[in-house]
């Protein structure tokens, strides 16, 4: 048995970057700052998020820097070669399958969107 599930709640670090493809697919990328449950740590942990399809469009339309969101998805590791020195590089990315709009700093109204939801 294997299990790859990540659930996070935090604030969006910047306005989402959205890419529209000729095939009709939508990709949305952003970062999420999540505070740890620790008295000694004032610095958040940062996560790269990747959203596809309908939830990507919802994020593009409603998520902004500072928005409080909840996400659930899976962890993947992206690999590439550095253009400058050819070194192998990698970074963890959360592929979001469920998005909950919990509000922004100015707005505390909550909504939920899942990749299986119909619009």
- The runs of H, that is alpha helices, within the chain are 53-62
pTM: 0.79
C-alpha to C-alpha distance for 61 and 64, rounded to whole angstroms = 9
Domain residue limits at 22: 6-78+93-101
% of the chain residues with pLDDT over 90: 67
pLDDT in tens, 9-52: 999 999 999 999 999 999 999 999 998 877 676 788 999 999 99
84 assigned to some structural domain: no
In a domain, residue 39? The reply is: yes
Q: Per-residue confidence at 1, pLDDT binned at 50, 70, 90? A: confident
Distance CA 52, CA 102 (A): 19
Domain count, the chain: 1
Using CA atoms, how far apart are residues 22 and 7, in angstroms rounded to an integer? 31
CATH code for the domain of 33: 2.40.50.140
pLDDT surpassing 60 at residue 69: yes
Residues 98, 54: contact at Cβ < 8 Å?
no
In-domain check, residue 97: yes
Taking residues 55-83, what's their average pLDDT?
94
Cα separation of 93 and 115, whole Å? 17
Query: Residue 53 and residue 13: Cα distance in Å, rounded?
Result: 21
Residue-level pLDDT at 118: 41
pLDDT score at 74: 96
pLDDT value at position 32? 96
């Amino acid at each position: 048995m294997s299990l790859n599930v990540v659930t996070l709640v935090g604030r969006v670090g910047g306005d989402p970057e959205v890419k529209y493809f000729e095939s009709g697919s939508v990709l949305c990328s952003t970062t999420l700052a999540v505070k740890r449950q620790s008295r000694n740590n004032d610095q958040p942990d940062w996560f790269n998020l990747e959203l596809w399809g309908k939830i990507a469009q919802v994020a593009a339309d409603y998520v902004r820097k500072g928005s409080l969101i909840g996400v659930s998805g899976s962890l993947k590791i992206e690999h590439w070669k550095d253009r400058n020195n050819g070194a192998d590089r990698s970074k963890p990315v959360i592929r979001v399958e469920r998005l909950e709009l919990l509000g922004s700093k100015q707005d505390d109204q909550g909504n939920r969107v899942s990749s299986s939801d119909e619009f």
